[in-house]
Amino acid sequence: MQRISLTPRPAPARHVPPPSSAGLGWALRTVLRDYLARADAVLATAPGGQHGYEILAAVSAGDYGTQISLANRLGIHRTVVTDRIDDLERAGMLQRHLSAADRRVRRLVITDAGRAVLTELSAGLEAAEEETLASLDEEKREQFLNALHLLARRPVVAA
């Protein structure tokens, strides 16, 4: 089955000047479009794509709790998380084990194959980030990322 990507495609390689009224939205969209095109290429072969990567990373870090709390933490619908976990389990990257504390709960365990894929994907995503931010020197890159993380951690206004 062919993977269909909803990720926006990058703008042409030529420089496109911003509209005269360009503000934060235009700048964020432009940078995000570039990064997502690069990240999508990295994640194209990963079972579960971006969601699969995020699940592997959370399970590897051991900070996910239950599958429902994992879904909430990642902002992914719980049925989608279950489907992605099924994909990762079929690919031999995760295993489900009964919890010793509560036999109704299945704990997720990353396999050696899952760790290897996670390492490879993480390196690819890091390269995508480096390429996206290549026009910034190290100091500006650090400032940009610190400011972006500060904004991302604040409470989100519901739509």
What pLDDT, in 10s, does the model give residues 95-129? 988 878 877 888 899 999 999 999 999 999 999 99
Q: How many CB atoms lie within 10 A of CB 89?
A: 16
Q: What is the pLDDT of residue 105?
A: 80
Q: What is the pTM of this model?
A: 0.76
- Per-residue pLDDT, 159: 59
d(CA 134, CA 139): 12
Closest CA to 7 of 30, 40, 29: 40
Query: What is the CB neighbour count within 10 angstroms for residue 149?
Result: 9
Residue corresponding to tokens 């365990």: 109
- For residue 133, what are its two tokens? 């931010």
**56 Cβ partners below 8 Å, 6+ apart?**
88, 93, 94, 110, 114, 117, 118, 121
**Separation CA 115–CA 35 (nearest Å):** 24
CA distance 16 to 152: 27
Are 19 and 27 a contacting pair, CB within 8 Å? no
The angle at the Cα of 58, spanning 52 to 63, to the nearest 5 degrees, equals: 155
Domain 31-129 is in which class?
mainly alpha
The least confident of 57-71, 84-98, 139-153 is 57-71
